[in-house]
């Protein structure tokens, strides 16, 4: 069931991106290793490919929504397994796994066609 619109997904993207970048300090697990850099880099990546996505909150419209959602699933999976992949699970793993699973869930529940495109296909928005 896909009940999250692409506009709402865009807001979620930018919020999650910023929170991932800030998470090591907000949650107090910054040590300068992979436990810190994985969410920071992933958060920056989410913001970057969101800016390039062809949806309401994108700027460059170079990446399809389908590709964007695939990147979300891959990023969520990577974040969720990173504590064991980079061997820091004995220090911190909960936020990585929780946010990773949520990222996958949001991607699965998001519509693949932006609202404006759906309306244009239905003849509700004038094209110029």
Task: Give residue-wise pLDDT tens across range 18-50.
Answer: 999 999 999 999 999 999 999 999 999 999 999
| Rounded (5°) CA angle 50-52-58 | 65
pTM confidence score: 0.88
Mean pLDDT over 46-74 rounds to: 97
pLDDT over 70, % of the chain? 89
- Compute the residue count for the chain: 128
Residue 128 has a pLDDT of 43
Tokens 């992933």 -> residue = 42
């Amino acid at each position: 069931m896909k009940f999250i619109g692409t506009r709402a997904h865009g807001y979620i993207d930018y919020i999650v991106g910023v929170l991932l970048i800030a998470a090591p300090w907000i949650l107090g697990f910054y040590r300068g290793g992979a436990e810190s850099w994985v969410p920071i880099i992933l958060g920056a990546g989410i913001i970057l490919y969101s800016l390039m996505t062809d949806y309401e909150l994108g700027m460059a419209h170079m990446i399809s929504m389908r590709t964007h959602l695939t990147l979300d699933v891959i990023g969520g999976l990577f974040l969720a397994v990173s504590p064991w992949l980079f061997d820091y699970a004995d220090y911190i793993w909960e936020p990585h796994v929780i946010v990773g699973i949520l990222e996958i869930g949001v991607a699965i529940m998001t519509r693949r066609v932006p609202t404006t495109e759906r309306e244009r296909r239905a003849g509700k928005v004038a094209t110029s």
